């Protein structure tokens, strides 16, 4: 009998990754369309910010799009590695060296998301100085804790898998 919690987790991860792909593709499409439709975008911005740095604002918006695509790639790494880990749990053998590597990959993806978050904060400051409307931003500690936690868990899995392999060889 399959574990209901694993079935739910698998579904949530697949749906999350699907939404992530839609977000990434939509962002890429918007970024690409911003070039041939740059004049129209500029006209809208001039109407809203008649004395603003329109070319600079468009450039910043495009950078935001690029960073969002990088974030989608990082999120994809997290979703797919978690799905692989869930599969090993479902198979009854989660404490393997491959899961340690997956957790390390997740750790690097989480770290990249945290660095992107810092970049977002810098962009918010820039937009504020440009006089352009923007969302609020505040640094957070929980993401950084998650990075450290996942790298620590990766090491625990690595050592545990090695100990388990050693034990299996002695039996």
Q: Are 118 and 165 in contact (CB under 8 A)?
A: no
Position 45 scores a pLDDT of 96
pLDDT at 171: 61
- pLDDT tens track of the chain, all 171 residues? 578 999 999 999 999 999 999 999 999 999 999 999 999 999 999 999 999 999 999 999 999 999 999 999 999 999 999 999 999 999 999 999 999 999 999 999 999 999 999 999 999 999 999 999 999 999 999 999 999 999 999 999 999 988 887 777 776
Output the six-digit token pair for 135. 């969302």
State the pLDDT at residue 37: 97
Helices (H), the chain: 4-33, 38-48, 54-90, 97-130, 142-170
pLDDT (0 to 100) of residue 2: 76
**pLDDT recorded at residue 170:** 76
DSSP state, residue 82? H
What's the predicted TM-score (pTM) here? 0.90
């Amino acid at each position: 009998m399959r574990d209901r919690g694993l079935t739910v987790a698998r579904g949530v991860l697949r749906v999350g990754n699907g939404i992530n792909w839609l977000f990434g593709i939509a962002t890429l499409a918007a970024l690409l369309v911003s070039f041939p439709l740059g004049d129209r975008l500029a006209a809208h911005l001039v109407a809203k910010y008649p004395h603003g740095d329109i070319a600079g604002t468009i450039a910043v918006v495009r950078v935001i799009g690029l960073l969002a695509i990088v974030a989608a790639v990082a999120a994809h790494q997290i979703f797919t590695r978690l799905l692989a880990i869930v599969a090993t749990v479902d198979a009854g053998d989660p404490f393997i060296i491959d899961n340690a590597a997956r957790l390390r990959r997740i750790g690097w993806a989480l770290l990249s998301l945290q660095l992107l978050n810092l970049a977002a904060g810098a962009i918010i400051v820039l937009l504020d100085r440009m006089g352009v409307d923007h969302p609020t931003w505040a640094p957070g500690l929980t993401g950084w804790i998650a990075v450290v936690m996942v790298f620590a868990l990766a090491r625990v899995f690595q050592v545990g898998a090695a100990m388990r392999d050693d034990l299996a060889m002695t039996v």
